[in-house]
Structure 1
């Protein structure tokens, strides 16, 4: 059994959630944001059997696209923190996968 922690851009979440719900994949969602870009993310905890892992990765590939966006970020200029405009690569997904020894529901 695997625990997949999936961080996706807020814009990509709806399509991914639709795919997961349609295929009866249960997940727990947390609203998060990145420290560097302050963009809103959705973080999903998904616990699946080993043989379902590749199917979930396919859903993520299908629904989470990478794009470039201009945004204000904080950077240190040598003296102080200043806000600068940068073009950042956003979207896609960051995925952490770990083994699950046991699941308990009460």
Structure 2
């Protein structure tokens, strides 16, 4: 048994959960927060047989594509003696971070 943990962007989470459930996988969805942009993420947990891990990862890759986004820094709260120049920054968002962990024991009661 394996536990697949996928951290995905909120925008991709519902379609991923729907697809995994339609394919027959049990899914637990947890709200989480990303580090760099402090944006909402979703952590998806699913327990699968070892031979099904590649199929689950394939579904995640299909539905959680990375894309570029332009962020604009917020305006300064107070002007200092220096000059403040806010530049838009292009960052890559989306995609998925996936962990696959061995499970020694699984029970569903």
TM-score range relative to shorter protein: 0.7 to 0.9
Between Structure 1 and Structure 2, whose CA radius of gyration is higher? 2
Q: Match of 2:89?
A: 86
Q: 1:59 to 1:84 in 2, by over 3 A?
A: same
1:97 matched residue in structure 2: 100
Pairwise CA distance, 1:71: 2.5
Aligned-residue CA RMSD (Å): 2.0
Aligned length: 98
- In structure 2, what is the equivalent of residue 11 of structure 1? 11
Please show how residues 1-106 of structure 1 align to structure 2 within 5 Å.
1-71=1-71, 85-106=88-109
**Unaligned runs of at least 5 residues, structure 1:** 74-82
**Which whole-Å CA distance do the structure 1 matches of 2:71 and 2:34 have between them?**
13
Structure 1 segments of 4+ aligned residues over 6 angstroms from their partners: none
- CA distance 1:84–1:95, change in 2 (3 Å): farther
The TM-score normalised by the length of structure 1 is: 0.82
- How far, CA to CA, are the matches of 1:71 and 1:38 in structure 2? 12
Instruction: Output the TM-score relative to the length of structure 2.
Output: 0.80
Q: What stretches of structure 2 of length at least 5 have no aligned partner? A: 74-85
